[in-house]
Structure 1
C-alpha cells in the first residue's frame, strides 16, 4: 500500500512565548516536527507533505536535508483548510496519514496499526479514553460504530459524559480526501474549515470508521505551551528509562535521566543521576556512568568506569578503562583497554594504547601514545602553531614528567623519560632522558613585595 504522510505544521504557537516557531521547539534534543518526520521515515512513506505557515522559512531551513514537499497555508482557516492546501500535490491512490507537527511522539507501531485498520474501511482514526474529557471532541457511537464527533461546546449533557475523545489523527484513502475536502464548509461560529467534518461525510456515505487507541497516552498529546512541553519531555524520558531498565540498566533515579538520541547497552549498566545521552551511544556490560556525565555518539566497552561530570564526545573507549572525574574526551579520541584518564584531563583526536595513564591536569591533542606510558600532571602537547595542527608521538613505556610541554611535531621514543618542567622541542630517542631547564637562581634574605597601604 502506498502511504503519504501529511503533517500540519503551520501554527504560530503564541502560548509558547517564543520567537521560535512552535514545531521547532526542542523535545529530547530534537525539534517537535523532527520527531514526526522521523516516524514518517520509519513508516517508509512514499511522500511526506508538510503544511507550513508561521515562520515557514525557518521551518523549511531546519529540514532542508529532508525529502519533504512543502505546502503553504497563507491563512489560518482551520485544520480542514490546511489539508485542503495539499490537494494539488496529493496522490489520488493509496492512503494518507494526517499528523501534526506539535504532536511529536505518536509511534510508528501505533500508526501501522491505524494503517492496517483503515485499509478495510477507507477511513480510520485514533481515539483515546481519558478520565477528564472536558474540552475535547467526543466520539459518539451507535452499536459500537462511530457516528459523529461532537465538540465539547456543542455536546449535550449526555454526550459530555463520554470519555472517548478525538485525537485528530486520521488515516484516509486519498481518493476519498479528493472527494470530501472540497465539500468542507466554514459555516460555523469560528468561520473555519474543520477536518472532523470528513467523519460525518464518511458516515453519510455509509462507510464504517475504523478506530484504534495508542499503547501510551502521551503518543497523542499535543504541545501548546512550555508547561505541556516540559510534561511531555518527562513522560517520554520516563518511558525511555523504563525500556532501558528492562534491558538491564540500573538507574540511581530514572526521573533524572535524559536520552536525546538512541542508546544500546549490555547488562548490569549503572547510570547515576543527571546523565545526558545524545546522538547514538553504545555501552557494554558492567559499565558505571557517574553523575552529571554527558555522552554523545560514544562507544564504551564493558567493565569501564566513567566517574562524575565527564564529557565524552565522538570517542571510542575500551574495556576496563577509568575516566574522570571532570575529564573530557573530544572527537577522534580512542582509548584502548586499561587506560586511566583522571581529573581535568582533556584528550582530542588521539589514540592512547593499552595501559596508558594520564591522571591529572593534562591535555593530549593529536597524539599517539604507546602502551603503558605515563603522562605526568600538567603535561600538554603543543599541537597548534596558530595555523596548523601537528602530531605528537610517544612510544611505549615512556615517562613524561609533570608540567612538561611537548612542542609538536615531535616524537618521544620507546622507554624515554622527560624530566619534569621541560619544554621539549626536539625528538627524544629511545631509552633516553631529556630535560630542559634554565639555571636555578637563589637570592638570600629576599624581601617579598608588600601591599601598598
Structure 2
C-alpha cells in the first residue's frame, strides 16, 4: 500500500514572538522543520509533502536540498484544512497517510516506522503520550470499555475531560480513503473557530470506522515547540541524546550539562570534551583529540590527536593531525593548519595555510598568507594584507624564521630558510637564505639623562 507523509508547517507560531518563522528557528544546529523532514525522508515513503502558508518562501528555501514537495494552505484556518490542502496535492487518493507537525524536532524515524507498522489495517490512529505536568495537547476521550471515541483540544475540554493524563502527540496515521470522507465533516465549533484534525476521530468512531491510540513511552521525544521555553527544552533533549550517543561510541564528555554539540557534528573515539565546549554545524573532530573549556568550533574539520586549548574559536577551517591550538587563538574561515603546527595564545589566522611543523606562538595576525613547513613566526608578527581597497597575499617559504614584531607588507615573499630580523617592516621580497633587516638603526645618546635637565 502506498505511504504518503504530510508535515504541517503553515502555522504562524505567534507564541514564539519572533519576526522569523517559528520553524526556521535553530534547534541543535538545524531549523526546527528540518528535523521533522529528515525523519520523514528516512521512511522511504512514496511522497513527502510539506504544507506551508502562501507566503512561506523561506521554508521552501530551507528545504531546497530535501526530496519534498509542497502544498499550500491558503489561510490559517486549522489543521484539518492543512491536511485537506495536503491531500489535494497527492497523486493518489488511496494508501496510508502519516501526518506530523513540523515543530517536533525530537521525533525519530524509528518511532514513525514502528507507528506505521502498528497502524496497519486500522482506519485512524494517533500516537499518545503521558507527559509530566500541565500541557496544551489534545485530550484523548475513551468510552467505558477503554475504546478511543474522540480527541478534544485542551482549550475546549470540559473539566472532566481535562483530567485525562493521556494526550495526543500530534502524530497520526490514516487510511487515506477513509480520512477523505471525514475531513469535510469537521466543523469550527470551538474557542479558536478553527477546523481541527483531531475532530475526525469522533466522526470516524461514530461512523463505525476503526480508531485507536497507540501509546509511546517517551513523551519528551514528541514534544512540540510553541514558545522560547519549549525551544530551549527541545534543544536540551536533542543535546543529551547526541552526547549520550557520543559517549556510547567512546567519547569522554566531562560535563554533559555544559557541553553543546549539534546533531550533525561527528567526534571520533577517545576524544575528550571539557566543560563549556561548543561544537556546531557540520564540524568533524577526529580520534584522540582533547577539546578544552570555552572552545567553539563551527563547520570545521579537525584531524586526529589535535589539542585545542581554552577559549579558542575556530570557524570554517581545517586542522590536520597533532596540531596544538590556543589558548585564546582564533581561526577564521579559510584557515588550513598543517600537521604538528602550533598556534599559540592570541594568534589569529584568516584564509591562510600553515605547513607542517610551523609555529606561531603569540600575539600574531596571519591573513591571506601561505606559510610553508617548519616556519617560525615570532611574537607580534602581522601580515599587512589590506591596503584599504584590496587584499594581497604573503608567502613565507619552508624553514624561514620571522623575528618578533615584524610587519610583512603584502604582496611580499620571504624565501626558503630566509631570516627576518625582529622589529622589521618588510616591503620587498627576501631571497632564499638571506637575512632581511627593515628597521631604523639604533642610536645611543651618551649621558643623555644627566644632560636633559
* TM-score range for the pair, normalised by the shorter chain length: 0.7 to 0.9
Contact 1:146–1:208 (CA under 8 A) maintained in structure 2 = no
1:429 aligns with 2:428: no
Q: Secondary structure at the match of 1:312?
A: strand
Q: Secondary structure at the match of 2:183?
A: helix
Q: Secondary structure at the match of 1:360?
A: strand
- 1:238-297 Cα shifts (integer Å, max 9, x gaps): 222112111122222101122234122222211122222111122222211111111112
Give the match for residue 43 of structure 1. 43
Give the match for residue 353 of structure 1. 355
1:316 aligns with 2:323: no
Contact 1:21–1:54 (CA under 8 A) maintained in structure 2 = no
Q: Give aligned pairs, total.
A: 446
**CA 405–238 in structure 1, closer or farther in 2 if over 3 Å, else same:** same
Return the TM-score normalized by structure 1: 0.88
- 1:146-199 Cα shifts (integer Å, max 9, x gaps): 443355664674x66653321121122333332221222234565432212222
Give the match for residue 237 of structure 1. 239
- 1:357-392 Cα shifts (integer Å, max 9, x gaps): 100111222322222211001112223344443332
State how far apart, in whole Å, the 1-side matches of 2:357 and 2:215 are.
Answer: 55
Q: Secondary structure at the match of 2:245?
A: helix
Deviation of 1:408 after TM superposition, in Å, equals 2.5
Give the match for residue 108 of structure 2. 107
State how far apart, in whole Å, the 2-side matches of 1:141 and 1:353 are.
Answer: 74
State how far apart, in whole Å, the 1-side matches of 2:438 and 2:135 are.
Answer: 79
Q: How is 1:215-254 mapped onto 2 (pairs within 5 angstroms)? A: 216-254=218-256
Give the match for residue 400 of structure 1. 402
Give the match for residue 293 of structure 2. 291
**CA 272–215 in structure 1, closer or farther in 2 if over 3 Å, else same:** farther
Give the match for residue 83 of structure 2. 83
Deviation of 1:4 after TM superposition, in Å, equals 3.1
Deviation of 1:427 after TM superposition, in Å, equals 1.9
Unaligned runs of 5+ in 1: none
Q: Output the aligned Cα RMSD.
A: 2.9
**CA 190–388 in structure 1, closer or farther in 2 if over 3 Å, else same:** closer
Give the match for residue 94 of structure 2. 93
Give the match for residue 378 of structure 1. 380
Return the TM-score normalized by structure 2: 0.88
State how far apart, in whole Å, the 1-side matches of 2:369 and 2:135 are.
Answer: 63
Give the match for residue 260 of structure 2. 258
Unaligned runs of 5+ in 2: none
- 1:392-413 Cα shifts (integer Å, max 9, x gaps): 2222221100111222332222
Deviation of 1:203 after TM superposition, in Å, equals 3.1
Q: Secondary structure at the match of 1:363?
A: strand
